[in-house]
């Protein structure tokens, strides 16, 4: 007799086969398999018959079976530069638990923000957005998630996966870290792809100031949409346990910081600072990118000693406590994107768009926004930009439309992915956020964001001349 678990296990292969049969004629066999892989992964992330990290490894084995592309191109994504950054950040943060720094930071956070859930959500979201304007999204998520989780556990939310108080806070960090990326040219590597296309189109340099004047108003609107959505999630309590005064008294009992705590905090701050000021030393040390700064300082934890003369971190502790699943989960979206791009599936998707009756205006803006958002969900922001911007540009040129407002709206959409637990969104899930909650609420917010982004892009195109010219 079939049990529910068996049905959940079969959901992935069944969806996989059905998608191949449905798409085979239009996408070709390899493209259909690549798209079907995304659906299999989504089904298992929703029903969770196995660990979400196990699901994240599917692109490797499916590609090995069907030989879609050289598997080295898939496997390499699982220890890419960004994964190295996550490993380094994880090594540093592991010492927070051994030294007690996690408790100190969690109580200090509660002292500063207070226990109000609305205030907590607003501060975590706002801080994530602002920092991701200047820092890589993954750095921001890796910085805030351990602090937020430590704070939640301190107030009694031990099982983060089942905690309804934890969900909006971790979603605020994951989503905020993503959307802040389009706030400045350096906020995401996808923006540099966009600038490259824009400069070729206009024939001169696209100044960073021009970016800010066009995108900061849009970022404010998208941020408010995220905030209002998070505020209206079903939350069982309006406040975390305890009062601001209680946390202030508790913090005073910690006394002065110990040597181990200072080292853990100083090295994480140093790694974050090095990522921020990289332009100052990039010419002298071109290979020392943020990923390797984090890894270098993470490795120092095995060398430096705390106030008791013990190593800040031992390999035995790191081996048993590092979030190995997070690395696979983060990389799976990029690996999946490789399959979809290199099998030509993405070209088929673009072709389908050209068959629609596009005439410009709001409908065209909606389709472009939805297409770009889909690309960002199943690959990465950078891949979404590399795919969507040329498609949007070519269609606009074929329709004799001014492509600039459509490209600007596309740039916003490439940073507004909310659903699947891949890329930056994998980090909160690795820290305990229930993937089902992210998928369900992310789907709703994604639909709202597509409508709002397309609507605002169309409105700006009509009433703001600077949005249509450079």
Is 265 part of a structural domain of the chain?
yes
Token pair of 424 as six digits: 């930056």
**Boundaries of domain holding 93:** 79-324
CA distance 329 to 184: 27
Token pair of 266 as six digits: 């100083």
Q: What's the pLDDT at 351?
A: 79
Q: What's the pLDDT at 420?
A: 86
Terminal-residue alpha carbon distance, the chain: 66
Contact 468, 461 (CB under 8 A): yes
Is 334 part of a structural domain of the chain?
no
Is 155 part of a structural domain of the chain?
yes
Q: What's the pLDDT at 207?
A: 66
Q: What's the pLDDT at 98?
A: 86
CA distance 365 to 240: 41
Count: domains in the chain: 1
Taking the model in full, what pTM does it have? 0.79
Q: What's the pLDDT at 2?
A: 58
Would you give per-residue pLDDT tens digits along the chain (470 residues)?
557 888 889 999 999 999 999 999 989 999 999 999 989 988 898 888 998 889 989 999 999 999 999 999 999 989 888 788 888 888 988 888 888 887 888 788 778 888 889 999 999 999 899 888 877 788 788 878 888 888 888 888 888 988 989 999 999 999 999 999 888 776 776 777 788 778 777 777 666 677 878 888 999 999 999 999 999 998 888 888 876 787 888 888 888 999 999 999 899 889 878 877 887 888 899 888 888 988 999 999 999 999 999 999 999 999 998 888 878 887 887 788 889 888 988 788 777 877 777 788 899 999 999 999 988 887 777 778 877 888 888 888 878 888 889 999 999 999 898 998 887 888 899 889 998 999 999 999 999 999 999 999 999 998 888 787 76
Is 411 part of a structural domain of the chain?
no
Is 408 part of a structural domain of the chain?
no
Token pair of 10 as six digits: 């079969």
How does pLDDT run across 388-401, given as a tens digit for each residue?
A: 888 888 888 878 88
CA distance 4 to 23: 28
Distance set, CA 299 to CA 91, 211, 294, 306, 315 (Å): 7, 38, 9, 15, 10
Is 241 part of a structural domain of the chain?
yes
Is 289 part of a structural domain of the chain?
yes
Is 295 part of a structural domain of the chain?
yes
């Amino acid at each position: 007799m079939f049990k529910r678990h068996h049905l959940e296990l079969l959901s992935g292969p069944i969806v996989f086969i059905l998608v191949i049969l449905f798409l085979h004629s239009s996408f070709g066999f390899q493209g259909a398999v690549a798209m079907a892989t995304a659906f299999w992964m989504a089904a298992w992330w929703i029903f969770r018959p196995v660990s979400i990290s196990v699901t994240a490894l599917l692109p490797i084995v499916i590609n090995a079976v069907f030989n879609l592309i050289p598997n080295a191109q898939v496997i390499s994504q699982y220890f890419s530069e960004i994964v190295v950054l996550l490993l380094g950040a994880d090594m540093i943060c592991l010492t927070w638990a051994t030294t007690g720094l996690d408790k100190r930071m969690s109580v200090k956070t509660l002292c500063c923000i207070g226990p109000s859930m609305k205030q907590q959500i607003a501060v975590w979201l706002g801080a994530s957005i602002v920092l991701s304007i200047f820092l890589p999204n993954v750095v921001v998520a890796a910085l805030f998630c351990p602090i937020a989780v430590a704070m939640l556990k301190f107030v009694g939310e031990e099982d983060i996966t089942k905690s309804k108080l934890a969900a909006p806070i971790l979603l605020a960090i994951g989503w905020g870290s993503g959307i802040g990326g389009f706030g400045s040219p350096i906020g995401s590597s996808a923006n540099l792809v966009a600038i490259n296309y824009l400069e070729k189109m206009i024939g001169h340099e696209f100044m960073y100031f021009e970016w800010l004047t066009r995108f900061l108003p849009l970022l404010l609107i998208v941020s408010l949409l995220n905030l209002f959505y998070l505020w209206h999630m079903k939350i069982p309590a309006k406040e975390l346990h305890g009062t601001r005064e209680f946390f202030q008294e508790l913090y005073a009992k910690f006394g002065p910081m110990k040597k181990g705590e200072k080292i853990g905090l100083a090295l994480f701050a140093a790694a974050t600072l090095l990522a921020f000021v990289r332009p100052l030393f990039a010419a002298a040390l071109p290979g020392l990118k943020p990923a390797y700064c984090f890894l270098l300082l993470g490795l120092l934890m095995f060398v430096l000693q705390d106030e008791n003369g013990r190593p800040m971190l031992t390999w035995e502790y790191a081996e048993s406590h590092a979030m190995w699943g997070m690395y696979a989960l983060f990389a799976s979206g990029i690996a999946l994107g490789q399959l979809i791009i290199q099998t030509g599936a993405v070209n088929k998707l673009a072709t389908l768009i050209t068959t629609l009756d596009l005439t410009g205006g709001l409908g065209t803006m909606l389709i472009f926004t939805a297409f770009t958002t889909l690309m960002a969900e199943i690959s990465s922001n950078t891949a979404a930009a590399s795919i969507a911007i040329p498609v949007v540009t070519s269609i606009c040129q074929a329709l004799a439309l001014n492509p600039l407002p459509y490209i600007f709206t596309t740039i916003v959409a490439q940073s507004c992915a909310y659903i699947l637990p891949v890329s930056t969104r994998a980090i909160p899930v690795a820290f305990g956020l229930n993937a089902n909650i992210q998928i369900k609420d992310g789907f709703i917010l994604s639909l709202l964001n597509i409508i709002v982004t397309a609507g605002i892009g169309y409105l700006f195109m009509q009433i703001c001349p600077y949005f249509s010219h450079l």
